[in-house]
Amino acid sequence: MGALRIAIKDLEIFLRDRGWLVQLFLLPLMFILIFSGVLSGIKSGEQDERVSLTVVDLDGSAASASLIAAIEAAGGVRVVPREAAEAEALVAELQIGQLLTIPAGLEAAIQSGTPATVRLQSHPDARAVDTEAVRVVVEGAVQDLLLEAQIIASLQQVGDMQAALPAEQQVFDEERILRQAREQFASSKERPLVTVSQQLAGTASEGDSPDMAHLAVPGFAVLFVFLAAQATARSIYDEKRVGSFRRLLAAPIGRAELLAGKALPNIAIVIVQMVVILGFGVVGLPLLGRAPISLGQDPLALVLMALAIALCSTGLGILIAGLSRTENQIGGLSTLLLWATGVLGGSMIPLFLLEQVLGPIPRAVPQYWANRGLENVLLRGLGLEAVWPQIAVLLAFALAFFAIGLWRFDYE
C-alpha cells in the first residue's frame, strides 16, 4: 500500500506539471504530423530510384528500338541513351555504372539467324544487386525479342507453305498472319494476362501501401516513451532536493517498495502515452484526411510489447536516477542520451537504412528492439510468436537497468 500511495502522489504532481504533459503527449503528435508530411513530400516527388543503364545503339533498327523499349518497360531500370564516343569516355573515367552496347547489324542477324552479341558492362564498384537487376532485365528483353522473331519466322514459313496451295484453300495470306501476330505481341505488352506482385509477408500490397504517418507513429511512440524515463529520474531528484525523500525513508516502508512506488507512475504514464499516440493514429489521422493505422492482428502481442517497453523505459529512469548526482546531469545529459539512442534505435530514421550504414550497432540500444517489435505488430501484422524475441530483449534491458540503478542508487 505504501508504494501505491507514493505512486498516486507522484501522478498528482505530474498532472499539475503542464510542461511534462506537453512534452510527453502533445509533442509526439506534432512530430508525427510534421515528419509524416515531410516524408510524404519526399515520397510523392518525382525522384527516379531506378538503376541507370546507359545504352549505345549502334544498329538504329526497329529491332534495337524494340529491345530498348522492352528494357524501359520492364521496370527498375532507367535507360539513358548516349553516343558511342561519349559513353566510351565516361566508361574510361569510371563514371558509368551500367553500359549496354547494341551492335550494328542486330536486326539483320536476327532475321538471318546468325549470332550477335549485345555487350553489357558494369562499373567495378557498382552494387551487386544493381548489376544483377540490370542483367536480368536485359536478358529478359533479349529473350522476348528473339521469341517474337522466331514466332514471326515460323509464321512466314507457314505462309510460304500455304502459298503453294490453290487459292481456294488459302485461309489467310502471309501479310495478314504477320499483322495479326504483331498486333498480338503489342496487346500482350500493354495488357498482360498475368502480372507479378511482390511484397514482404505481412505487409500491405503496393496498391494499399501505408501512409508515411504509419511509419512515424511507432517510431515517435518509442522515442517519447523512452523520454518519459527522464520524468522518473527528475521526480526522484526533486524529492531529494526538497528533503521529502528522506522523510519517505523514515516511513515504515522498505527501500524496494519505495522505489517501486516511484517506478509505478512511469509505467502508468508510458501506457497512457502508447494509448494516446496509437489512438491518434487510429482516430486522429482519418480526421486529417489520412488513412488510419492498423493495430495489428494480435492484440496480445501489442499489449505485451507495450508492457515490455514501459518496463524498459521505467528501468532506464531508475538507472538515470542512480547515476546522476546533479540536476544538470538529469536534464542535459539524460536528454541528450535519450534523443541520441532514440535516433540510433530507428525512431527517426528507418531501421533498414540504419542497418545498411551502421550494421548491427543499432541493436545495442533498447529503442531498436522496441521499434522492431512495434513495426512487426503494427505494420507487418505479425503475432506473438514473431515478436517474442524483441519482448525478451526489452525485458533483459529492463532487468539490467533496474539492477544497475538499484546498485548505484544513493538513498541519502
pLDDT at residue 399 greater than cutoff 80 = yes
Question: Quick one: which H or E segment has residue 77?
Answer: strand 77-81
Regarding whether 103 and 36 lie in a shared domain, the answer is no
Sign, CA torsion 14/219/202/388 = negative
Domain limit, last residue, from 190, 215, 245:
190
| Nearest of 22, 28, 23, 373 to residue 221 by alpha carbon | 28
Residue 228 near residue 271 (C-beta atoms within 8 A): no
Regarding whether 299 and 340 lie in a shared domain, the answer is yes
Residue 67 near residue 42 (C-beta atoms within 8 A): no
Q: Using 50, 70 and 90 to split pLDDT, how confident is the model at 203?
A: very low
Regarding whether 216 and 145 lie in a shared domain, the answer is no
Q: Which of 169-183, 234-248, 305-319, 358-372 has the lowest mean pLDDT?
A: 169-183
In a domain, 196, yes or no: no
Regarding whether 11 and 93 lie in a shared domain, the answer is no
Residue 122 near residue 98 (C-beta atoms within 8 A): yes
The whole-number pLDDT of residue 321 equals 77
Regarding whether 364 and 264 lie in a shared domain, the answer is yes
Regarding whether 151 and 292 lie in a shared domain, the answer is no
**Looking at beta carbons, which pairs linking 349-352 to residues 24 or more positions away fall under 8 Å?**
350/215, 351/375
Residue 55 near residue 81 (C-beta atoms within 8 A): yes
What gap in Å lies between CA 314 and CA 311, rounded to an integer? 5
| Nearest of 337, 304, 307, 306 to residue 320 by alpha carbon | 337
What gap in Å lies between CA 233 and CA 221, rounded to an integer? 20
Segment 166-194 mean pLDDT: 53
DSSP symbol at 24? I
Say how many C-beta atoms besides its own lie within 10 A of residue 216's C-beta. 26
Higher pLDDT, 32 or 373: 373
Domain limit, last residue, from 130, 159, 190:
190
Q: What global pTM score does this model have?
A: 0.57
Q: Which of 59-73, 122-136, 336-350 has the lowest mean pLDDT?
A: 122-136
What gap in Å lies between CA 134 and CA 129, rounded to an integer? 9
What gap in Å lies between CA 321 and CA 405, rounded to an integer? 7
Sign, CA torsion 227/228/233/239 = positive
Q: Best-predicted range by mean pLDDT among 44-48, 129-133, 149-153, 365-369?
A: 365-369
Residue 123 near residue 96 (C-beta atoms within 8 A): yes
pLDDT at residue 192 greater than cutoff 50 = no
Regarding whether 170 and 298 lie in a shared domain, the answer is no
The whole-number pLDDT of residue 161 equals 57
pLDDT in tens, 370-393: 999 998 998 888 889 999 999 999
78 backbone dihedrals φ, ψ, rounded to 5° = -110, 120
Integer-rounded Cα Rg, in Å, for the chain is 32
In a domain, 213, yes or no: yes
Segment 282-297 mean pLDDT: 81
The whole-number pLDDT of residue 167 equals 56
What gap in Å lies between CA 50 and CA 36, rounded to an integer? 24
Say how many C-beta atoms besides its own lie within 10 A of residue 409's C-beta. 15
Segment 183-187 mean pLDDT: 54
What gap in Å lies between CA 38 and CA 215, rounded to an integer? 12
Regarding whether 121 and 235 lie in a shared domain, the answer is no
The whole-number pLDDT of residue 48 equals 54
The whole-number pLDDT of residue 257 equals 67
Segment 393-405 mean pLDDT: 91
**Cell 526533486, located at residue:** 238
What is the layout of strands, in order, in the sheet containing 98-102? Answer: 77-81, 51-57, 98-102, 119-122
Q: Best-predicted range by mean pLDDT among 50-54, 141-145, 309-313?
A: 309-313
Q: Which of 121-125, 196-200, 327-331 has the lowest mean pLDDT?
A: 196-200
Higher pLDDT, 242 or 272: 272
Q: Which of 161-175, 210-224, 275-289, 394-408 has the lowest mean pLDDT?
A: 161-175
User: What's the domain range around 86?
Assistant: 51-190
Sign, CA torsion 376/379/380/382 = positive
The whole-number pLDDT of residue 253 equals 62
pLDDT in tens, 44-81: 444 556 778 888 888 888 888 888 888 887 777 888 89
C-alpha separations of 397 from 1, 91, 215, 330 in Å: 27, 52, 24, 20
In a domain, 149, yes or no: yes
Q: Using 50, 70 and 90 to split pLDDT, how confident is the model at 246?
A: low
Higher pLDDT, 192 or 27: 27
What gap in Å lies between CA 199 and CA 186, rounded to an integer? 28
Regarding whether 368 and 266 lie in a shared domain, the answer is yes
- Where does residue 10 rank: exposed (0-12), middle (13-18), buried (19+ CB within 10 A)? buried
In a domain, 399, yes or no: yes
Regarding whether 120 and 92 lie in a shared domain, the answer is yes
- Domain tally, the chain: 2
Q: Which of 18-27, 87-96, 226-235, 378-387 has the lowest mean pLDDT?
A: 18-27
Residue 51 near residue 133 (C-beta atoms within 8 A): yes
Q: Using 50, 70 and 90 to split pLDDT, how confident is the model at 300?
A: very high
The whole-number pLDDT of residue 160 equals 59
Regarding whether 285 and 226 lie in a shared domain, the answer is yes
Residue 295 near residue 378 (C-beta atoms within 8 A): yes
Segment 349-356 mean pLDDT: 81
CA dihedral of 203, 207, 209, 212, whole degrees rounded to 10: 180
Q: Which of 26-30, 204-208, 262-266, 390-394 has the lowest mean pLDDT?
A: 204-208
In a domain, 197, yes or no: no
In a domain, 46, yes or no: no
Average pLDDT, the chain: 75
Domain limit, last residue, from 165, 190, 215:
190
Regarding whether 75 and 19 lie in a shared domain, the answer is no
Residue 354 near residue 306 (C-beta atoms within 8 A): no
The whole-number pLDDT of residue 245 equals 58
CATH of the domain at 165: 3.40.1710
| Nearest of 160, 286, 317, 106 to residue 211 by alpha carbon | 286
**Cell 540490370, located at residue:** 134
The whole-number pLDDT of residue 199 equals 42
In a domain, 199, yes or no: no
The whole-number pLDDT of residue 19 equals 65
Note the helical H segments in 324-365: 327-328, 334-344, 351-358
The whole-number pLDDT of residue 198 equals 39
In a domain, 121, yes or no: yes
